[in-house]
Copies of this chain bind each other. A is one copy, B any other.
């Protein structure tokens, strides 16, 4: 039985897992979950995945795993998306944890307010927006003069960060003043075979 990915096609966290599975040529069945209808909080879903979140994958042996970055790290173990060098792998992890702590809550949280809740950009929570802008600014400083965030090749750090960063304009963020981030997004999209979202201009 192929791996099942329970996910939401509007969620960057879920798309991360899809990007990695597609990049590695892994077989999977995608099960669309409507979190706004509570489908990730049913008794059946919680029995499978107690955190009640997507993405959750059920591996081909039936064992479940949640948390986008943990899933990516598991699926990509031993591939060219994870540096073989221990220090570079740690630098990748540094960005993966930073993404979940100081990028996703604010960038994805702001996108959520616009895309899911239908707010206008001016109605977004100002503190969340300010912290998202700071996260995007830090990305610009880190990627300036570089091709990828860690080492000389695309890693999970790029995939984790690009998932919501390429969608940031959907949440009212202007990437035009961040040229290094803008170029890196295009580079990631090309490497992952993704069509540009076409909202960044």
Contact = CB atoms under 8 A, between A and B. Distances in A.
Interface stretch (A2-10, A17-25, A66-74, A168-176): A66-74
A93 B73 contact: yes
A105 B105 CA distance: 9
Contacts of A59: 87
B94 A67 contact: yes
Given A66-B94, A67-B98, A94-B67, A86 B74 contact: yes
Given A51-B98, A63-B87, A138-B50, A93 B74 contact: yes
Interface centre among A86, A97, A138, A142 (most CB of B within 10 A): A97
Interface centre among A59, A96, A101 (most CB of B within 10 A): A101
Interface in A66-108: 66-71, 73-74, 77, 86-87, 89-91, 93-94, 96-98, 100-102, 104-105
- Chain A's interface: helix, strand, loop or mixed, by majority? helix
A89 B77 CA distance: 11
Contacts of A71: 90
A65 B77 contact: no
Contact of A90 (B65, B100, B101, B142): B65
B93 A69 contact: yes
Interface in A22-69: 50-51, 59, 63, 65-69
A178 interface: no
Contacts of A68: 97
A70 B50 contact: no
A141 interface: yes
A51 B105 CA distance: 16
5 closest A-B pairs by beta carbon, nearest first, are A70-B93, A74-B90, A70-B94, A100-B101, A67-B97
14 contacts: A51-B98, A59-B87, A65-B90, A67-B94, A67-B97, A67-B98, A70-B90, A70-B94, A71-B90, A73-B90, A73-B93, A74-B87, A101-B104, A105-B105
